[in-house]
C-alpha cells in the first residue's frame, strides 16, 4: 500500500516557466516532508523540506507547499532551468524512517 | 571524500549466488538506511539502523535479505541465493539523527544485475 504517492510519472516544462510537482500521502501522522532530486547514475540529493507545522517553505527558486487537510504537498520551481531536469522524489518521515514516492521525471526544455 | 560511499558500484551475479553490498556512511552519522530502486519504481525502504537500537527490518522483502552494521559505522547488505527480481539499484543513506528534522544523505548506489 503506497503511503506516499506521486501520480504524475513525468512532467515537461519550458525553460523559464514554473514547474509544479505534486505529492499525496495517506498517513496523517507524518510530521516532516522532504523533496529529493536524482540524476541518472547518482544517489538522490536533498532539495528542500517542510515541517507539518508550516504550510510553506521557500529556498531560492524552490518552494514547497503543504496542505495538511488535503494530505497534499507540492514543489514549485520557478523559473525552471534545463539543469533542473531530473527525477524528483517526495518523502515523508514516518517516526524515524523516510517513505518515498515513486518519483516524477521533470524535463525542462529550452 | 566526506559523503556516503557504496561498493561495488556495479555487480553482475548469476542467479542463485550470494552477494554482499557495502556502505560506508558519513562519519558520525548514527542513522543508516538501505533502500532499493527497481526499474521504473520508487525508492523502496529495506532496513534502518539507529545507533545501538535493534534495526527496523520491516522492509526486507524476504529472509534471503539481511544486513549488519558493525561498530555503528560500516553496513553490509547480504542477499542470499539471488533471484532475477533482486536486480535493482541498492541505495544507502545516512543521517546525523534518526528522530529529528535532518535530511538523509545518499550514496551513489550499487547497481545489481542478476543473470
The whole-number pLDDT of residue B53 equals 87
The rounded distance, in Å, linking the Cα atoms of A49 and A57 is: 7
Residue A7, all three cell numbers: 501520480
Q: Does the pLDDT at position B99 exceed 60? A: no
Best mean pLDDT range from A34-43, B9-18, B39-48: B9-18
Minimal-distance CA residue of chain B relative to A49: B103
What is the mean pLDDT of the segment spanning A80-92? 96
Tens digit of each residue's pLDDT (9 = 90 or more) over A7-63: 999 999 999 999 999 999 999 999 899 999 999 889 999 999 999 999 999 999 999
Contacts of B43 in chain A (CB under 8 A): 44, 89, 91, 100, 103
The rounded distance, in Å, linking the Cα atoms of B65 and A42 is: 24
Nearest-by-Cβ selection for A99 from B45, B98, B101: B45
Q: Does the pLDDT at position B23 exceed 80? A: yes
The whole-number pLDDT of residue B92 equals 96
Contacts of A6 in chain B (CB under 8 A): 42
What is the mean pLDDT of the segment spanning B1-28? 94
The rounded distance, in Å, linking the Cα atoms of A102 and A90 is: 8
- Tell me the backbone φ, ψ of residue B91, rounded to 5 degrees: -115, 135
Q: Does the pLDDT at position B98 exceed 90? A: no
Name which residue leads in pLDDT, B52 or A76: A76
Amino acid at each position: 500500500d503506497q503511503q506516499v504517492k506521486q501520480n504524475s510519472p513525468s512532467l515537461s516544462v519550458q525553460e523559464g516557466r514554473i514547474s509544479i510537482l505534486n505529492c499525496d500521502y495517506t498517513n496523517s501522522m507524518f510530521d516532516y516532508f522532504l523533496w529529493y532530486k536524482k540524476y541518472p547514475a547518482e544517489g538522490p540529493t536533498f532539495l528542500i523540506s517542510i515541517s507539518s507545522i508550516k504550510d510553506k517553505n521557500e529556498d531560492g527558486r524552490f518552494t514547497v507547499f503543504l496542505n495538511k487537510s488535503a494530505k497534499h504537498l507540492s514543489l514549485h520551481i520557478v523559473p525552471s532551468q534545463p539543469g533542473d531536469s531530473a527525477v524528483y522524489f517526495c518523502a515523508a518521515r514516518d517516526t524515524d524512517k523516510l517513505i518515498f514516492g515513486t518519483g516524477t521525471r521533470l524535463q525542462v526544455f529550452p | 571524500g566526506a559523503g556516503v560511499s557504496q561498493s561495488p558500484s556495479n555487480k553482475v551475479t548469476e542467479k542463485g549466488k550470494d552477494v554482499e553490498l557495502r556502505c560506508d556512511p558519513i562519519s558520525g552519522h548514527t542513522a543508516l538506511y538501505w533502500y532499493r530502486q527497481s526499474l521504473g519504481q520508487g525508492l523502496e525502504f529495506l532496513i534502518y539502523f539507529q545507533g545501538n537500537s535493534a534495526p527496523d527490518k520491516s522492509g526486507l522483502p524476504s529472509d534471503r535479505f539481511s544486513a549488519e552494521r558493525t561498530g555503528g559505522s560500516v553496513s553490509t547488505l547480504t542477499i542470499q541465493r539471488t533471484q532475477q527480481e533482486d536486480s535493482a539499484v541498492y541505495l544507502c543513506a545516512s543521517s546525523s539523527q534518526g528522530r529529528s528534522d535532518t535530511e538523509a544523505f545518499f550514496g551513489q548506489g550499487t547497481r545489481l544485475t542478476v543473470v
